[in-house]
Structure 1
Amino acid sequence: MFSIDSYLQPHESFHFARKLLDAKPPRFAHYHDYYELFIVEKGAVNHWANGRDERLEAGTIACIRPADVHHVSAAADTGAQIINVMFRTDTADHLVRRYGADLENHFFWSTEPQPATYTLSGPRFERGVNLSLDLQTTRRSLARIERYLLAIMTGVVDLSEQSDPTLPGWLIQACAQARLPEVFREGAAGFVMAAGRGHEHVCRKTKEHLGVTPSAYINQIRMEYAAHMLRSEDITVSGVAELIGMENLSHFYRTFKNHYGITPRAYRHQHQKSPF
């Protein structure tokens, strides 16, 4: 069994690693006394867990529980780079006690035999990687790991895009359509139009099932898209605001800062630097 105390000092609350994997599987599977999250950043991995082998492509987040017996190796045809975060069990216990209504039966608290996995793409994948890379240089504090985990579980992974049988079909479709630029540029009105239902009904059901208003849901997507453009494209900040349908530049700056804690210009400066 692997122990968290082999990786952490007493004052530390998490361990971070970003590494290339070998295509040769480890000799032995293992379990451990901590929780583990890994993101397949590049390529694909072969993940053997609890007697089952599964290929996980880039963009996959895996949530490993202490009792899961597993090992991971790079797929021979692609190679793999992963981001790995390990943290103490009391951190997970605190989060599920406090936020159980949102977290129970998902992520590290899934009751399924296999570890929970979630697939990210586009701006959500970018955001998950960016949030994770921020852990490289931050203090290994309890506040930092709790903030990170909540951001991943409530902001990066969108459970509405997973298989939830209680979601109305029209709402699932609206959430999918909302990721199209021609929809999110129109704001909440674009979401309502994609839903094909009355405005009040859409607002009520979106709040009931997703916990946010259509406007907040669309703005989250807009900000993710904006962050992706700022990080990867050579386009002005005002050009990014126009692309996402925010003609008022002050409003864009304010909304972006509310989501990421820094201005668009500061975000671009920070994330266009090499992480190495």
Structure 2
Amino acid sequence: MTAFTRQETQGDWGSLVWEIRSVNHRYLEPHLRLPDSLRELEGTLREKLRKALSRGKVECTLRFVPETQQQTLSVDRELAEQLIAAARDLESLIPDRQPLNPLEILRWPGVMRESEIDMNEVKKAALTLFGEALQDLAEGRSREGAELAQLIGQRLDGIEEVVAHVRKRLPEILQAQRDNLRNRLAELRVELDETRLEQEIALLAQKADVDEELDRLGTHVQEVRRVLKQKDPVGRRLDFLMQELNREANTLSSKSIVADTTQCAVELKVLIEQMREQIQNIE
């Protein structure tokens, strides 16, 4: 299901930005782009994705900008004290000793230290922000799902109208076929006893009987409506129901004996295909 979210947070360590894009896909296919300093979070992030989503091609991008202006310098006092003590010991060996220059002590490697970013805090913030981004993404997908459910509901209404039309027309179609058969026999002046004629009419009616297909179409429509109301992921279940609806539409077409029912079967297949395309976006 298509959705996008962007979440940002800041701290003493800098700023983090998550961008997550989700598009239609039959299975869950995550793609993660992380800074090298946060690469070890990938396993945890993938697990969170699997728990939150079941379908979709999901692209997750994390941007981390360290805060450089807040970095400060500090003195390693223990090392400085050791250097000063060593310098005092050497003063007696220097004939013309100069006063001890503090700047010379500070130039010694390791005396001056820059404050380092606590990456554990950054990782914790990145995971928290990722959870918030997933929540926002889920809400966006939920809103789109509600809109898709309405569109699918309109197609289901169309299927029920077609089924009702065929069911209403079926007796008329069968009677018209009986009359047509009788008229053709009369034109050909073929002598046929009534028993044989009724047998032929019965065979014709049996071939054209689509009550079972119409009943199954109605049952599948009700099942689709029921599944759409569920809170759990239903995409694969709906995929299966679309296959069953299409199967019944094909059977209806194969049993058609007039152009009207053939046209109705075509309309059914169009409606089913429109639903199938929408259902590919449903988790």
Return the TM-score normalized by structure 1.
0.20
Q: Choose between structure 1 and 2: higher helix proportion.
A: 2
Structure 1 or 2, whichever has the larger Rg, is 2
Structure possessing the higher relative contact order (Cα contacts under 8 Å, 6 or more residues apart): 2
